[in-house]
Amino acid sequence: MAEYDFDTVLSLKDINRRRFLKFCGQMAAALGLSQSFIPQIANAIEKVSKRPSVVWLHLAMDTGCTESVIKATHPSASEIVLDILSIDYHETIMAAAGEQSEEILKKSVGEGGYILIVEGGVPTKPGYGRIGRRDMMDILRETADKSAAIIALGSCATYGGVPAARPNPAGIKGVGEFLQRPVINLSGCPVNPDWLVATVVHHLLFGKLPELDKHGRPKIIYGMNIHDNCPRRASFDAGKFVEEFGSEEAMEGECLYKMGCKGPNTYANCPLIRWNDKISWCVQSGYGCTGCTEPGWPDAFSPMRAVLPGISIPVFKGVENTADKVGAALGIATAAGIGIHLAASAMKGRTKKDEDKEKGGEG
């Protein structure tokens, strides 16, 4: 295994100490730790001498999560952490192809003890999704057997995502469901690179993986409700809604609930972490949250523009926003009606859960 020289990596990336410590501060915030942890995070990253081996498989997907993780408008501090990983096999970025790449996979699997990162859903019907004349599901089973830990990266790998949407002819499943063993689920379409980085940093800092929620996601990342932490929340509470993209209300940053925002039923730290070097995120950009980190997405959250039912709006106190009443209470366009009824049945479970949470139950 190659040695890891931290100073060399810093100079190659042209990242100075100040920027590195700033990144450590952002990681402390992402991990829900105080800024006093900055020196410990810096130390944990610097002291790595051996790079953990990673095998990265691509199953049914569009490489969007790889794009998200490796994209760099300029060398970022997050890249330092990703460089700690020795990515021995990655079909999209490796120079080898064909039989040569198959040999590399065989060699990596033979050595065992690697972290297996899986991007994409698992086609469970024979003949659907093949690489090198082998079904993807057979490659996954074999690769998973000798791995030390498995990370399902993105919504397709975690719960099926877009390729598992109706009618799902390939019988796509998430990795954990297919393998019937615990995996670390980093959902999102695409995954935020900082979610992978924060998971790695947590392991470096504490010597263990973060605690997971009931959907197999790290609580430090997915324990935060989008709606509760949204900068537009004051508009929601005041009943001020955007009714048309590009309108004055949209420009003023009012709430996107009536445009189909699924933030109230979605859990992730997007408002804190954001995307593209922390420039923006879905709600800030003006479209709203589609619920991409949640199991069942996208079917359970479709149509994307339908108003989420069962959500109490403070200014309409006492009027429950159910599928039947939403139009009357809020003056929603009838065009969204069919979608509301579909979404109502798909989301009934989560809505009930949220109500329980508000009454002091488990989140």
Please report, as ranges, the residues that interact with ligand SF4 according to CB under 6 A: 188, 226-227, 230, 232-233, 236, 255-257, 261, 263-264, 266, 268, 270, 281-283, 288-290, 292-293
CB of 63 vs ligand SF4, minimal distance in Å: 17
Closer CB to ligand SF4, residue 124 or residue 322?
A: 322
Pick the closer one to ligand SF4 by CB: 170 or 344: 344
How far apart are CB 44 and ligand SF4 at their closest, in Å?
27
Least CB distance to ligand SF4 at residue 21 (A): 27
Question: How many residues in total does the chain contain?
Answer: 363
Rg (CA), the chain: 22
Closest C-alpha among 118, 50, 112, 111 to residue 86: 50
Contacts of 96 (CB under 8 A, 6+ apart): 103, 104
Closest to ligand SF4 by CB, 201 or 307:
307
Among all residues, whose Cβ is closest to ligand SF4? 263
- Residue 265 per-residue DSSP state: G
- Shortest distance, CB of residue 269 to ligand SF4, whole angstroms? 9
- Minimum distance from residue 72 beta carbon to ligand SF4 (Å): 19
Shortest distance, position 69 Cβ to ligand SF4, whole Å: 14
Nearer to ligand SF4, 69 or 84 (CB): 69
Q: Which of 215, 274, 219 is nearest to 31 (CA)?
A: 219
List the structure tokens of 324.
């039947």
Tell me if 363 sits within 8 A of 223, measured CB to CB: yes
Nearer to ligand SF4, 40 or 229 (CB): 229
3-class SS of residue 223? coil
Distance (Å, whole) CA 90 – CA 94: 6
Cβ atoms of 124 and 110 within 8 Å: the answer is no
Residue closer to ligand SF4, measured from CB, 54 or 270: 270
**Angle, nearest 10°, between helix axes 193-206 and 77-84?**
60
Beta carbons within 10 angstroms of residue 231's beta carbon = 11
